[in-house]
């Protein structure tokens, strides 16, 4: 590895997850199993991908941890918050994502991960009724209590650094309100005034994490850190933020497939995506206010790949619809259908159908690992604010909309951004060669 200014990954890395449900219990089980050599972390870029560095005769392909100092899986220490008291073992069993034979070898370690009381407001997820919830005076007190949890976790485990990852249920949609979310001062005032309408519990977690010097990742489509006030806080505390919404199944396909249409200059008249899903995530998203948050996130993908203003003949007025249907028999095994109406030479219509039988948490777990490890790396590299290079992993990548920045949703452009950031943190030059 080259000499750089990036601090080494010395000591233990605490990973505090908000929400100990299907995704996070699958993530934790996989990491612990991989550590014992009993499973492979398939799908994880940080564990498998190789990036070319150098050109011509100097060209070589290296894994991420050969380029930049990425924390080792053996150094991860998990902790969690949840509305329900089930420990990580019980949660993994309840989720029915993994078979017992793939959980039991790490049963003891999983059982030791007991969720701290959640910072929760029933109005933000009406379908949840757990009672492992903090008793709080107001939103400011909620934030203070989370900060204390983080400090205690550090003390009890002796970890050197902590990353906080939200993989809890999707909250109801909180539209950005410039007056409240526009500046850090206004946000803090709203927390102190206990403004429950504009301050979601997730904002309290994010505020607490950044204030305690921890990077924060938003894995759900919540507004949370996608507001100028949080960008200000992340600059102030020098911490990276990443979000929103893990790009796992249908949107991954969309951001990889739409470029085929765009690159070949074919037209699009409509794209209808629907899926059935039966896990607790599906249950929460069955509530229209919670689905709205997801819908906004899922709809944003195509707009920046197939842009009407750039190609009016091809992309004006295409109809884009996304549905999620709660259907218990399938549990975590989501089935997605995409019907794509395209047109070609002289406007003649054609159709493409994609039927993806996926597993939601199996696709999300490696993203949790990569986002955590790369956010920790970014923090040690002195990067703060929105980490656009992590857009690759996210459905609705954050960008500074107040400055007219546009998100990058095109999977292969996102991959270039990811590779270049790793190259730069490893002391190599960024470039745009395709290989
Ligand atoms: N699996 C995927 O492919 C995927 C993709 C994108 C986003 N996501 C998002 O990831 C999140 C987790 O998905 P999941 O399938 O694990 O859901 P899940 O319902 O199994 O787990 C979420 C957990 O969060 C807990 N929770 C809710 N509010 C909380 C709070 N304020 N504090 C602490 N805990 C809280 C719930 O009690 C629950 O145990 C969801 O928001 C989902 O939309 C998942």
Q: How far apart are CA 291 and CA 284, in angstroms?
A: 8
What average pLDDT does this structure show over 406-435? 89
What average pLDDT does this structure show over 106-119? 98
H/E segment holding residue 148: helix 139-157
Shared domain for 210 and 62, answered yes or no, is yes
Residue 381 lies in a domain: yes
Residue at a domain's end among 305, 338, 357: 357
Residue 431 lies in a domain: no
* Ligand 1 touching residue 201 (CB < 6 A): yes
Q: How far apart are CA 186 and CA 134, in angstroms?
A: 25
Q: How far apart are the first and last CA of the chain?
A: 22
Report the domain count for the chain. Answer: 2
Q: How far apart are CA 261 and CA 305, in angstroms?
A: 10
Shared domain for 133 and 266, answered yes or no, is no
Of the chain, the percentage scoring pLDDT greater than 90 comes to 81
Shared domain for 43 and 60, answered yes or no, is yes
Residue 1 lies in a domain: no
The token pair at 261 is 């249409």
pLDDT in tens, 121-150: 999 998 888 999 999 999 999 999 999 999
* Ligand 1 touching residue 336 (CB < 6 A): no
Shared domain for 234 and 294, answered yes or no, is no
Shared domain for 204 and 326, answered yes or no, is no
Residue at a domain's end among 330, 357, 384: 357
Shared domain for 101 and 137, answered yes or no, is yes
CB 25 within 8 A of CB 32: no
Shared domain for 193 and 263, answered yes or no, is no
In a 13 Å sphere around the CA of 237, the CA atoms on its Cβ side amount to: 22
Phi then psi dihedrals of residue 111, to 5 deg? -65, -30
Residue at a domain's end among 357, 391, 417: 357
CA of 332 to the centre of ligand 1 (A): 12
- The DSSP call for residue 394 is B
Shared domain for 222 and 193, answered yes or no, is yes
Q: What is the pLDDT of residue 299?
A: 75
Per the listing, tokens 């452009």 go with: 413
What average pLDDT does this structure show over 36-63? 94
CA of 137 to the centre of ligand 1 (A): 25
CA of 89 to the centre of ligand 1 (A): 16
Evaluate if residue 57 carries a pLDDT over 80.
yes
* Ligand 1 touching residue 245 (CB < 6 A): yes
* Residues 6+ away with beta carbon under 8 Å from 229: 180, 181, 182, 183, 184, 186, 187
- Which residue among 17, 18, 19, 250 is best mutated to probe the pocket of ligand 1, counting the most ligand atoms within 8 A of its Cβ? 19
| Band of residue 435 on the pLDDT scale cut at 50, 70, 90 | low
Q: Considering only CA atoms, which residue is closest to atom 37 of ligand 1?
A: 83
Residue 327 lies in a domain: yes
Evaluate if residue 304 carries a pLDDT over 90.
no
* CATH code for position 282: 3.30.360.10
pLDDT in tens, 263-287: 999 999 999 999 998 888 788 878 8
Shared domain for 348 and 366, answered yes or no, is no
CA of 256 to the centre of ligand 1 (A): 25
Per the listing, tokens 């990491």 go with: 31
Of the candidates 153, 141, 142, which has an alpha carbon nearest to the alpha carbon of residue 119? 142
Q: Considering only CA atoms, which residue is closest to atom 38 of ligand 1?
A: 21
Of the chain, the percentage scoring pLDDT greater than 70 comes to 99
Q: How far apart are CA 254 and CA 274, in angstroms?
A: 12
* Ligand 1 touching residue 81 (CB < 6 A): yes
* CATH code for position 36: 3.40.50.720
CA of 162 to the centre of ligand 1 (A): 20
* Ligand 1 touching residue 125 (CB < 6 A): yes
CA of 168 to the centre of ligand 1 (A): 3
Residue 6 lies in a domain: no
Shared domain for 154 and 121, answered yes or no, is yes
Residue 224 lies in a domain: yes
The token pair at 319 is 């109809």
In a 13 Å sphere around the CA of 232, the CA atoms on its Cβ side amount to: 12
More confident residue, 285 or 253: 253
* Ligand 1 touching residue 47 (CB < 6 A): no
CB 278 within 8 A of CB 322: no
Residue 3 lies in a domain: no
Evaluate if residue 30 carries a pLDDT over 90.
yes
State which residues form the domain around 61: 13-246+362-425
CB 275 within 8 A of CB 294: no
* Ligand 1 touching residue 205 (CB < 6 A): no
Shared domain for 204 and 228, answered yes or no, is yes
Residue 8 lies in a domain: no
CA of 270 to the centre of ligand 1 (A): 30
CB 67 within 8 A of CB 51: yes
Evaluate if residue 434 carries a pLDDT over 70.
no
The total of other beta-carbon atoms located within 10 Å of residue 190's CB is: 22
Q: What is the pLDDT of residue 280?
A: 80
* Ligand 1 touching residue 291 (CB < 6 A): no
Shared domain for 290 and 396, answered yes or no, is no
* Ligand 1 touching residue 243 (CB < 6 A): no
Of the candidates 156, 139, 26, which has an alpha carbon nearest to the alpha carbon of residue 79? 156
């Amino acid at each position: 590895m080259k000499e750089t200014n990036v601090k080494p990954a010395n000591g233990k890395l605490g990973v505090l997850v908000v929400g100990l449900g299907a995704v996070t219990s699958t993530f934790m089980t996989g990491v612990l199993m991989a550590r014992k050599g009993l499973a492979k972390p398939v799908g994880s870029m940080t564990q498998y991908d190789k990036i070319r560095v150098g050109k011509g005769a100097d060209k070589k392909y290296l894994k991420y941890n050969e380029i930049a100092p990425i924390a080792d899986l053996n150094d991860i220490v998990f902790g969690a918050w949840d509305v329900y008291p089930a420990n990580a073992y019980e949660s993994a069993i309840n989720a029915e994502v993994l078979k017992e034979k793939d959980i039991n070898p790490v049963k003891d370690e999983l059982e030791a991960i007991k969720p701290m009381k959640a910072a929760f407001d029933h109005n933000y997820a009406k379908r949840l009724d757990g009672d492992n919830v903090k008793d709080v005076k107001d939103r400011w007190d909620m934030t203070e209590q989370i900060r204390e949890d983080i400090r205690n976790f550090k003390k009890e485990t002796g970890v050197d650094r902590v990353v906080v990852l939200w993989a809890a249920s999707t909250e109801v949609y909180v539209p950005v309100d410039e007056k409240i979310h526009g500046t850090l001062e206004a946000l803090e005032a709203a927390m102190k005034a206990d403004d429950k309408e504009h301050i979601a519990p997730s904002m309290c977690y994010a505020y607490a994490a950044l204030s305690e010097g921890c990077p924060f990742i938003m894995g759900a489509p919540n507004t949370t850190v996608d507001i100028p006030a949080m960008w200000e806080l992340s600059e102030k505390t020098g911490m990276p933020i990443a979000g929103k919404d893990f790009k796992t199944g249908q949107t991954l396909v969309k951001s990889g497939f739409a470029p085929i249409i765009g690159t070949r200059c074919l037209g699009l008249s409509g794209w209808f995506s629907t899926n059935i899903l039966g896990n607790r995530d599906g249950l929460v998203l069955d509530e229209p206010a919670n689905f709205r948050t997801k819908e906004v996130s899922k709809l944003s993908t195509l707009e920046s790949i197939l842009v009407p203003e750039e190609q009016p003949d091809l992309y004006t007025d295409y109809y884009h619809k996304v549905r999620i249907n709660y259907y218990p028999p399938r549990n975590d095994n989501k089935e997605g259908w995409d019907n794509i109406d395209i047109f070609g030479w002289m406007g003649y219509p054609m159709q493409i159908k994609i039927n993806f039988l996926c597993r939601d948490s199996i696709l999300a777990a490696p993203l949790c690992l990569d986002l955590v490890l790369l956010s920790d790396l970014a923090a040690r590299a002195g990067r703060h604010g929105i980490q656009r290079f992590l857009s690759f992993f996210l459905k609705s990548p954050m960008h500074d909309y107040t400055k007219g920045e546009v998100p990058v949703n095109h999977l292969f452009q996102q991959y270039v951004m990811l590779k270049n950031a790793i190259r730069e943190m490893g002391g190599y030059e960024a470039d745009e060669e395709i290989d």
